[in-house]
Structure 1
Amino acid sequence: MNKGSSPPDGTAPETPKTPVGTPPKGGRFKAGLLSADAWVDTALWRLASGLRHAIESYSAWLRRFRVRGAGRVAAELASDGVTFGLLGLVLMLTLAQDAIDKTARADWRTTEDFSVAFLDRFGNEIGHRGILLNDTVPLEEIPDHLIKAALATEDRRFFHHFGIDVVGTFRAMMENVRARTVVQGGSSLTQQLAKNLFLTNERTLERKINEAFLALWLEMNLSKREILKLYLDRAYMGGGTFGVAAASEFYFAKNVRELSLSEAAMLAGLFKAPSKYAPHINLPAARARANEVLTNMVQAGFMTEGQVIGARRNPAVAVDRSRDRSPDHFLDYAFDRLKELAREYPALANDRILTVRTSLDPGLQRQAERAILDTLRQQGNRYRVGEGAVTVVVPETGAVRAMVGGKDYGTSQFNRAVDALRQPGSSFKPFVYITAFMNGYSPRSVVPDAPINIGGWSPRNYGRSYRGPVTLKLALTKSINTIPVRLSQALGRDKIVENAHAMGINSELKITRALPLGVAEVTVLDMTAAYGSFASGGLKVVPTPILEVKNSQGETVYELSRHRRAPERVFPAEKAAEMNDVLVNVVEAGTGRRARVPGVTAAGKTGTTQAYRDAWFVGYTGNYVAAVWFGNDDFSTTARMTGGSLPAMTWQAIMEYAHKGVELKPMPGVDRPPQPAEALVVGDEAGSGAGRPRLLREQSITVLEEIGARLDAIGKRADLPDGGPGGNRGSGQDGVESITQ
């Protein structure tokens, strides 16, 4: 016995006494966990046993239906078919979700495209844009032979299927397999209508699924007659026409109610490929297709061979559209503006079939087209220039009277008057000068014409010479380059940009050192509108081609005189008067002398860009403001063409015609009387008194240029202060920018 483990008295140690039945410390918690674990184990065992018993019972029950041999194969195939069918249905519903959403539109029966007939300012029709649509003819009044021709060609079983022609689709598939190419389409007429109303022409599986669902939806919501009427109204028929009524007017110039059998067959042949069988493009192909349609009608039992023999012997003759001439660039511009108005005035979008009376003056439009073409025809090769553009606008209302966007719309539909961004050259300088007039300068203010250097950049005048101190009136008249650069340094170029935008320039004007010399990009229409602020006495001119819009019921839904906002004043009237006086001097004694109009006070500014890529003349009278541009689409240089040559001459030819027989309105702030007409008549124009003004001959132009050069040389020695005819050639014959970086 270990002595160290006994108490000092040698007795055994006492052990603590615990009551009987009391669990040890922590025992209750452990007992609870053991009980919970036992309960979970028991529950899981019972659940597993129950499931096993249920499965065994279910298997025993299924064994009663066990089949063998061929029955088993059929059952397996049916089971797999149901499984894959359900999966396919879920997939198709997923793909068709977009189509289902399209049917939620409340206006799905109406077209989303405009059908617009355009009239000139006098109410005469000048053309169409958008879709050519006429859905006002009831189905009962459409000729029976036209309906039969359409059904025989597109869907013979139309009145017997539920939207998808299973029999016709299977037959088309067999024919295509036999021919090893697509010779028949499997889409029913309802499916084609679904595509026309809701979908695009893309050839994808998703579109075909959507088409099938939409066809079923149409059959559930419309009667067969309603579907047929919508199809005949909305099918594309070529030539921009939609529906048989519009196609009848376009191809045969007659009401659809009056169509003959041969004409109806030709129209029904367009459903398949309108661009291929359009009679105004390929009449032989259209007649061959019409003959196939007649055969289809006989095969379908709709007519006998004897009934169609007359139509075969006397095929339809379409209207000749090859000589149609319309102001297409103007119509494109007017159509785009109509879409903008529809977003601004929702009433325009409620009815998509509209008649628009435009501001176009047909006589002035023809003269503008003739002037551009004559100039290019006579002088294009000499100056190596290929394109021209012009716009003519009335200052008071902004009404666009004429627009030429290029020499040939058939060759290029690009509208150079509206969409082409070109550098304006010196024709931009009036924005600098009007800014100066608004900030303490006047036409009599004197600024030195001397070399200037801005960070290593030194603008130079056209003749590489300088005049010394000159007035702003003389500086703009002679298109001196250094003066606007000095003004921009004093004023701040941001003010110039702000004024140009306020006057009507919508394109971005980058603030650079060369900005005052027109090294920016603008459009012909914007320049016309901006100069209109001078002609209107300081009020902003907003160009518009639309005077009035009527819906399909003949109700006026827009009128310019009612809806036009009050014009905004961009600078004071007295400043406009000062600018007008200076720009009149440009035409009478400066770089724009070739733009003078006999008997009419005219103002304007020439513009010629570096390397002679662009040439401009922008000018105005009390009646009109117009801009003329010449250049090349590829930005290639011309043969030293300046704004004072072809553009000024073309502007003069247009304005002389425009002012014949009209009341001349005074130019704001210009008190001088118009120059006598006889003092301005040149060559064989003298004494004619009437007729279209001619452009000067090449020899006459050369002689006048020599005379002008000699007068400039005399003026250089005399140093005339008022910018008279003896001005310094070194100050810029046309303001051509000579820029060295």
Structure 2
Amino acid sequence: MSGNGNKRPPLVADRRYAAKPAAKKKAPPKKAAAKPAARKRKAAPKKAKPRGFIGWFLTPFRWFFRLLWAFTWRIGLVVGLIIGGFSFYFAAHMPEMADLIDGRTRGSVTMTDFQGDVFAWRGDQFGGMVTAETVSPYLHNAVVATEDKRFYRHLGISPRGIASAVRINLRAGRGPLSGNGGSTLTQQTAKLLCLGVPFDPTKWESESAYEADCRRTTLWRKAREAVFAVGMEIAYTKEEILTIYLNRAYLGAGSRGFEAAAQRYFGISAAEVNPAQAAMLAGLLTAPSANAPTRNLQRAQNRAGIVIGLMQDQGYISAAEANEARTNPATLTDAARANSGGFFADWVMASGPEFFTRDTTEDVIIRTTLDQRIQTAAEEALIRVFENDVREGSEAQAAIVVMSADGAVRAMVGGRNISATGAFNRATQALRQTGSAFKPFIYAAALDLGMSPYSMIDDSPVCFEQPGSGDWCPENYDRKFVGPISMIDSLANSRNIPAILVSEEVGRGLVSDVANGFGVQGDLAAGPALALGVSESTLLDMTGAFAGILNGGSQVTPYGLTDLRLMGDDIPLMDATGVGIGERIIREEAARQLTWMMTKVVEDGTGQRARIAGWPIAGKTGTTQGSRDAWFIGFTGDYVTGVWMGYDNNSRLTNVTGGTLPATIWRETMLGVLDGKQPTALPLMIPQQPASTGVLESQGGQAPAQDILNLLDSILTGQN
């Protein structure tokens, strides 16, 4: 018993079942021991099935999000591998950074006045390459603070920025890709590079169309932009990417890059700008054309104030520097502020060689004949007269041209919108009837034949036969006839009948030749109405024709280009040699006598409003039939100035003749031009008065034989 210890001894009855030993091994209760574990799994709270309505409602969503996550991370991995592959592909094919600095397909034109001071720019200006290290630190930081404050912390794209932009767009009621784009500086640079697609003139009709296509926003382009941006981050350093951006960004007024913009607006390099100037330049990036300070300085300054706040918030400038920048905002240079000579600059661009102006692929500098002092005088005169002497709301227009006697144009105003560029230029493009301003060419032809200024003409009613339309019976402006009158008084008082009789006497063909020779272009009228200025001309051509009278009777070609050279070159490619004074049209003596006759127009005739005390002035008024055009063209010893006034739609002027508002505008212009100068004498000749002079009459448009004989005698006498 002791061997068994506490164990119970087996029962005798158990031994009777020795034939069934397997029963001992079967031990089903032991296998059943797994049941408690099953009960534990069923009872685990984390695995419990949802109960109740909410649980059953959330079950499909939980299932969906588990499926979505399982799908998303696999797709994300594939997309990431694709983006990475394409990014490395773009990175491998990126050109050298320096090759991406200047991507213009067209060049630029910079125009200087006769003293060499810049006054106008055309085309895309590129001031030269700058780098992120060489520009002013204020400018560097202003760009980063304004456009991408996380620039140095991302790899080309910013999911956070994109999400923020989409939220802003949706709240504003726009599409997710309309408005704010959430683009990083790298993405903006990629867009400036058009994602590596070069300009192809066979695909895009212009560079503007090319750039517009590059700026289109679609999901596919945004995806390509992101991949290209990552490729740039792989290929270039951050400072190299910023360098490309600083040189390629458009900043308004034709400025490509921050160097060109700094020179355009402030007259200094991008390395020299202060915080206020840097903030204004960086502020242009959002809307360069609308915010350009040459267009709206106050708007540009307001935008700069916002940029200054961003720079201060991000620690780039101190509070004291920010206050200084706000107190003393950036302003424009005098040349940029004046924005003068827009019409003149357009004319130079249109009249110069096309391959060096409108379609230049080079950066060109053109020295012109413009005198900014005279240009300002003309602009201010036009504004002053319209403000004081023209009724409010009038749509009448006016144009002014000032030139030297050799045809060098010193100022040009093509309309009342003084600062316009690319606008219709009424000084060079408007063909208008010249009216009585044409009469000096009639008397020039007569004087050149030897007629005396004292010759008498019969200012009496006369009619001319017009085949198919009956007789034409012209009248004087005042509808009166004064009888015998000298050529001097006929011109001074702008009498029509005497002018027609002289034209018919010397021959319309000769009159037309003289007018054409002096520069009045185009086909002139064939009938007797030629003498009344029914033919059309531009103000520029008419002013140039009067310059021919001033310089002694030689042809004058108006010009504005003095020399042209490529930027960086000292030797001009072309100059004004051979331009200006041309061949002689009438004898010098005749031109001097005509000049004397024209002084009487200002002293005693229709142009008295143009008088300036102490200055000898010669000129001629002109008013067309129906008062649709009014002219005054006059000259001193140094300058010829022409003024035209009228409506673009050819409506009638009210109470305006060449001797009223145009003469007033002329006088106001010349007061500014002549300010501070000493009076100069006119090159005139006072002819000797003959003992007696016959009266030129008309009988049906034919001069009497005796008058013709007298004319021939005077010619022979003059020759002897």
For normalisation by structure 1, the TM-score amounts to 0.61
Question: What is the 5 A alignment of 1:162-561?
Answer: 180-181=175-176, 182=178, 183-184=180-181, 188-195=187-194, 198=199, 199-200=207-208, 203-204=212-213, 228-249=242-263, 255-259=269-273, 264=278, 267-278=281-292, 280-282=297-299, 283-288=301-306, 291=309, 318-321=329-332, 328=339, 330-338=341-349, 340-343=351-354, 351-352=362-363, 354=365, 356=367, 358-360=369-371, 362=373, 364-381=374-391, 387-396=397-406, 398-407=407-416, 409=418, 415-437=425-447, 443=453, 448-449=458-459, 450-453=461-464, 454=466, 455-456=469-470, 457-468=472-483, 470-486=485-501, 496-506=511-521, 509=524, 514-548=529-563, 552-553=567-568, 555-557=570-572
Q: Secondary structure of the residue that 1:389 maps to in structure 2?
A: strand
**Of 472-481 and 525-534, the range deviating more from structure 2:** 472-481
Structure 1 pair 382/603, CA: closer, same or farther in 2 (3 Å)?
A: farther
Residue-by-residue CA offset, 1:15-54 (whole Å, 9 max, x unaligned): xxxxxxxxxxxxxxxxxxxxxxxxxxxxxxxxxxxxxxxx
Q: Percent identity?
A: 30
Structure 1 pair 392/610, CA: closer, same or farther in 2 (3 Å)?
A: same
1:116 is matched with which residue?
Answer: 110
Contact 1:594 1:645 in 2 (8 A): yes
User: How far apart, CA to CA, are the structure 2 residues paired with 1:149 and 1:378?
Assistant: 46
Question: What is the 5 A alignment of 1:143-154?
Answer: 143=136, 146-147=139-140, 150=143
Query: How many pairs are equivalent?
Result: 566
Structure 1 pair 459/339, CA: closer, same or farther in 2 (3 Å)?
A: closer
Contact 2:162 2:182 in 1 (8 A): no
**Of 541-550 and 650-659, the range deviating more from structure 2:** 650-659
Structure 1 pair 247/330, CA: closer, same or farther in 2 (3 Å)?
A: closer
Structure 1 pair 354/140, CA: closer, same or farther in 2 (3 Å)?
A: farther
User: How far apart, CA to CA, are the structure 1 residues paired with 2:246 and 2:236?
Assistant: 14
2:5 is matched with which residue?
Answer: none
- Deviation (angstroms), 1:278: 4.9
- Deviation (angstroms), 1:430: 2.0
Alignment-mate amino acid for residue 127 of structure 2: N
Structure 1 pair 292/385, CA: closer, same or farther in 2 (3 Å)?
A: closer
User: How far apart, CA to CA, are the structure 1 residues paired with 2:572 and 2:605?
Assistant: 48
Q: Which of the numbers 635, 644, 666 marks the counterpart of 1:629? A: 644
Runs of 5+ unmatched residues, structure 1: 1-104, 299-304, 673-719, 724-741
Runs of 5+ unmatched residues, structure 2: 1-98, 200-206, 697-720
Structure 1 pair 190/288, CA: closer, same or farther in 2 (3 Å)?
A: closer
Contact 2:251 2:261 in 1 (8 A): yes
Contact 2:107 2:125 in 1 (8 A): no
Structure 1 pair 206/663, CA: closer, same or farther in 2 (3 Å)?
A: closer
Contact 1:131 1:241 in 2 (8 A): yes
Residue-by-residue CA offset, 1:484-515 (whole Å, 9 max, x unaligned): 43455566656544543332234665656634
- Deviation (angstroms), 1:131: 5.0
Q: Secondary structure of the residue that 2:401 maps to in structure 1?
A: strand
Alignment-mate amino acid for residue 193 of structure 1: L
User: How far apart, CA to CA, are the structure 2 residues paired with 1:109 and 1:464?
Assistant: 67
Residue-by-residue CA offset, 1:365-408 (whole Å, 9 max, x unaligned): 44444544444444334998954433221113x22233344455
User: How far apart, CA to CA, are the structure 1 residues paired with 2:117 and 2:585?
Assistant: 36
Structure 1 pair 664/334, CA: closer, same or farther in 2 (3 Å)?
A: same
Structure 1 pair 471/326, CA: closer, same or farther in 2 (3 Å)?
A: farther
Q: Secondary structure of the residue that 2:621 maps to in structure 1?
A: strand
Alignment-mate amino acid for residue 524 of structure 1: L
User: How far apart, CA to CA, are the structure 1 residues paired with 2:509 and 2:695?
Assistant: 30
1:713 is matched with which residue?
Answer: none
User: How far apart, CA to CA, are the structure 1 residues paired with 2:278 and 2:100?
Assistant: 33
User: How far apart, CA to CA, are the structure 2 residues paired with 1:314 and 1:586?
Assistant: 60
CA RMSD, Structure 1 to Structure 2 (Å): 5.3
Alignment-mate amino acid for residue 517 of structure 1: L
Structure 1 pair 513/193, CA: closer, same or farther in 2 (3 Å)?
A: farther
Residue-by-residue CA offset, 1:566-613 (whole Å, 9 max, x unaligned): 623333334423433432343344333444444544322111223333
- Deviation (angstroms), 1:529: 0.5
1:664 aligns with 2:664: no
Alignment-mate amino acid for residue 110 of structure 2: V
User: How far apart, CA to CA, are the structure 2 residues paired with 1:326 and 1:722?
Assistant: 60
- Deviation (angstroms), 1:619: 1.8
User: How far apart, CA to CA, are the structure 2 residues paired with 1:333 and 1:594?
Assistant: 27
- Deviation (angstroms), 1:231: 3.3
User: How far apart, CA to CA, are the structure 1 residues paired with 2:637 and 2:493?
Assistant: 23
Structure 1 pair 501/476, CA: closer, same or farther in 2 (3 Å)?
A: same
Q: Secondary structure of the residue that 1:189 maps to in structure 2?
A: helix
1:728 is matched with which residue?
Answer: none
Contact 1:583 1:605 in 2 (8 A): yes
- Deviation (angstroms), 1:668: 5.1
2:660 is matched with which residue?
Answer: 645
Q: Secondary structure of the residue that 2:193 maps to in structure 1?
A: helix
**Of 522-531 and 202-211, the range deviating more from structure 2:** 202-211
Contact 2:623 2:658 in 1 (8 A): yes
User: How far apart, CA to CA, are the structure 2 residues paired with 1:171 and 1:117?
Assistant: 47
Structure 1 pair 447/352, CA: closer, same or farther in 2 (3 Å)?
A: same
User: How far apart, CA to CA, are the structure 2 residues paired with 1:595 and 1:639?
Assistant: 20
Contact 1:460 1:482 in 2 (8 A): yes
1:72 is matched with which residue?
Answer: none
Residue-by-residue CA offset, 1:227-254 (whole Å, 9 max, x unaligned): 6544312321135533222334556665
User: How far apart, CA to CA, are the structure 2 residues paired with 1:648 and 1:237?
Assistant: 42
- Deviation (angstroms), 1:333: 0.9
2:601 is matched with which residue?
Answer: 586
- Deviation (angstroms), 1:624: 2.0
Residue-by-residue CA offset, 1:197-256 (whole Å, 9 max, x unaligned): 84436655897799979x979979x97777654431232113553322233455666542
1:705 is matched with which residue?
Answer: none
Structure 1 pair 485/294, CA: closer, same or farther in 2 (3 Å)?
A: same
User: How far apart, CA to CA, are the structure 2 residues paired with 1:579 and 1:589?
Assistant: 15
Contact 1:587 1:602 in 2 (8 A): yes
Residue-by-residue CA offset, 1:613-671 (whole Å, 9 max, x unaligned): 33222122332222223444554444423222343344345546655634725415457
**Of 189-198 and 319-328, the range deviating more from structure 2:** 319-328
User: How far apart, CA to CA, are the structure 2 residues paired with 1:266 and 1:307?
Assistant: 15
User: How far apart, CA to CA, are the structure 2 residues paired with 1:329 and 1:419?
Assistant: 19
Contact 1:383 1:639 in 2 (8 A): no
1:142 is matched with which residue?
Answer: 135
User: How far apart, CA to CA, are the structure 2 residues paired with 1:665 and 1:558?
Assistant: 37
1:701 is matched with which residue?
Answer: none
Contact 2:135 2:270 in 1 (8 A): yes
Alignment-mate amino acid for residue 607 of structure 2: G
Alignment-mate amino acid for residue 391 of structure 1: V
User: How far apart, CA to CA, are the structure 1 residues paired with 2:275 and 2:680?
Assistant: 58
User: How far apart, CA to CA, are the structure 1 residues paired with 2:537 and 2:498?
Assistant: 22
Structure 1 pair 318/670, CA: closer, same or farther in 2 (3 Å)?
A: farther
Structure 1 pair 106/465, CA: closer, same or farther in 2 (3 Å)?
A: farther
Alignment-mate amino acid for residue 190 of structure 2: Q
Contact 1:393 1:624 in 2 (8 A): yes
- Deviation (angstroms), 1:272: 2.8
